[in-house]
Amino acid sequence: MITVFSKNNCIQCKMTKMFLTQHHVDFVEHNIDEHPEYVDQLKADGFKSTPVIKLPDGQSFTGFRPDMLKQLA
C-alpha cells in the first residue's frame, strides 16, 4: 500500500492525493498536523517537507511528482 504523509494547507499534498485518486491508486494518508508522531520518523529519514510518498517496495520520494506517480497508475 502506498502511504502519503501530508499536512494541512499543502498544495503539493492536495495535488498528489488528487492525482492518485483520479488514477484509482489506493493509498493511506497520514496528516502530520493531526498525527505529529510521524514527524520525527520523517525527519530521521531525511525529509524536510511534505508530501512524502512511501511505496510498498520501501522507496520514497517527496513533492508532487507526476512522473513518479504515473508509474503507480
Pairing between β-strand 60-62 and β-strand 52-54 as defined by DSSP bridges: antiparallel
Q: What is the pTM of this model?
A: 0.94
Instruction: Dump pLDDT digits (tens) for 27-61.
Output: 999 999 999 999 999 999 999 999 999 999 999 99
What's the rounded mean pLDDT across residues 14-26?
A: 97
The predicted structure's pLDDT at residue 60: 96
Tell me how far the alpha carbon of residue 56 is from its chain's centroid: 12
22 pLDDT more than 90: yes
Q: Percent of the chain at pLDDT above 90?
A: 97
73 pLDDT more than 90: no
Strand order in the sheet with 52-54: 27-31, 2-6, 52-54, 60-62
- Burial grade of 21 (CB within 10 A; 0-12, 13-18, 19 or more): exposed
The half-sphere exposure of 4 on its side-chain side, counting CA atoms within 13 A, is: 24
